[in-house]
Amino acid sequence: TNVLNCPLSLLVSVVLVGLLCLVFCSQPTSLDAAPLCTNAEAGCHVLSLANLFDRVIQHSARMHSISNDLHSEFELYFLPSKNQIGRVSRNCHTSNILTPNGKENAQRMAREELTEVILKLLVAWRDPLWHFHQSMTHFHDFIDFSSNKSLKMSDMVHELRKGVQKVVEKMQMLGILSNSVSSLMSPEAFLAPGSAEWRLMKDYELLYCFRRDSNKVQNYLKILKCRIVPEDGC
């Protein structure tokens, strides 16, 4: 009987392998997984706008969460007292960027404007965060707490800006956004003339300001998404 079993088991195993192959080979087609294209004209599969928006929004949410944690830790470590008048001068270097301060204002603002605001904010924070991270290395105590967070934060800003730029490009391609948004311009163009003031900001103020601005970015992106691609999640 052993002799008989040999070819039978072989056959069974071959059939199983074939089935597995079918199962796994069929999966990619269902997921429509394909490499991302730099050129949309090539006709390859590109992620949908809603998908892009979701990714960017998630990214911004994460960024805001890190900035929140960093601010709380800093406050706890260096400034235990809270809610004191005149404690800090809320003078962020991005104050000159006009940002809508409410839902209605944000909804009333044109998409292009809103997109530009987002981009401006993200661009404005690239250098300050990098320098913040650099200055944090001098604080040995603080390094144990949050040095990796500050580094992550500066990276995230950079990545988020690139992501938003991609979204803008997509929108412009789809005709949703007019070409007035100068996404291809260098980041320095976005910087307001007085933006060098950030060097005068203290670290704590910097953290406070960034926490606010990251929240702005997150909310603006959400508003934009639900206005342009009002699918699930809105």
Partner 1 sequence: MACARMVKHLRLPLLLLLLALAAECNSMSPPEKPDKLGCRSPDKETFFCWWTPGSDGGLPTVHHLYYKTEGQENMRQCPDYHKAGSNSCFFSKTSIWVEYTVIVEASNALGNTSSDPLTFDLMNIVKPFAPENVTVVVNIEDSPHLTIQWHTPSNIDTKSGWVTLKNQLRVKPDKSKIWKNYASETQTHFTIYSIDLGVVYMVEVRCAIDNSWSEWSNTTFVKVPNFSRKDNSFWILVFSLCLIPLLAAMIILILKRKTVKKYILPPVPSPKIRGVDVQLLKSGQSEDVINAMLLNQRFPVMIPWKDQKEDYLIVSDKETSYLPLEKKKIFILPLAMALDSEVQSKETSEVDHFPKDSESSSEESSDKTESSQLLTKCSSANVLNDEKANQLKGVTEKIFQPFGIGGYVDIPRHEHMQEADYSRVNEVNGDNILIMKKENIPHTLDTRGQEGSVPDNYSMVKEVNSDNVVFLEKHSESVNASFKAKGYIDWVNQKPKNLHMAGHSEMGVCPQLVGCEYVDTVPPPAVI
Q: State both tokens at 160.
A: 């988020």
Distance in angstroms (rounded) separating the CA atoms of residues 62 and 35: 25
Q: Quick one: which of 147, 172, 183, 215 contacts partner 1 (CB under 8 A)?
A: 215
Q: Which of 27, 65, 137, 148 binds partner 1 (CB under 8 A)?
A: 65
Cβ of residue 38: shortest distance to partner 1, in angstroms? 29
Contact between 59 and partner 1 (CB under 8 A)? no
Q: Rounded to the nearest whole angstrom, what is the least distance from the CB of residue 106 to partner 1 in the complex?
A: 8
CB contact set of 134 (below 8 Å; sequence gap of 6+): none
Binds partner 1 by CB under 8 A, chosen from 55, 126, 158, 227? 227
Least distance CB 36 / partner 1 (angstroms): 25
Strand, helix or coil at 83?
Answer: coil
Q: Are 111 and 177 in contact (CB under 8 A)?
A: yes
Q: 3-state DSSP call for residue 166?
A: helix
Q: Which is nearer to partner 1, 176 or 226 (CB)?
A: 226
CB of 86 to partner 1, least distance (A): 10
Helix (H) or strand (E) holding 154: helix 140-174
Of residues 92 and 191, the one with the C-beta less far from partner 1: 92
Residue pointed to by tokens 């008989």: 4
* Range 66-95, binding partner 1 (CB under 8 A): 83, 85, 90
Tokens of 198: 């950030």
Number of other residues whose CB lies within 10 A of the CB of residue 217: 28
Q: Give the binding range for partner 1 (CB under 8 A) out of 7-15, 100-108, 150-158, 173-181.
A: 100-108
Of the CA atoms within 13 Å of residue 45, those in its CB half-sphere come to 9
- Whole-number Å distance between alpha carbons of 26 and 153: 40
Is the CB of 7 or the CB of 86 nearer to partner 1? 86
**Cβ contact 227:106 at 8 Å:** no
Q: Which of 27, 48, 96, 107 binds partner 1 (CB under 8 A)?
A: 107
Q: How far is the CB of 34 from partner 1 (least distance, A)?
A: 28
Q: Say how many residues touch partner 1, by CB under 8 A.
A: 21
| Binding positions for partner 1, rule: CB under 8 A | 65, 83, 85, 90, 99, 101-103, 106-107, 212, 215-216, 219, 222-223, 225-227, 233-234
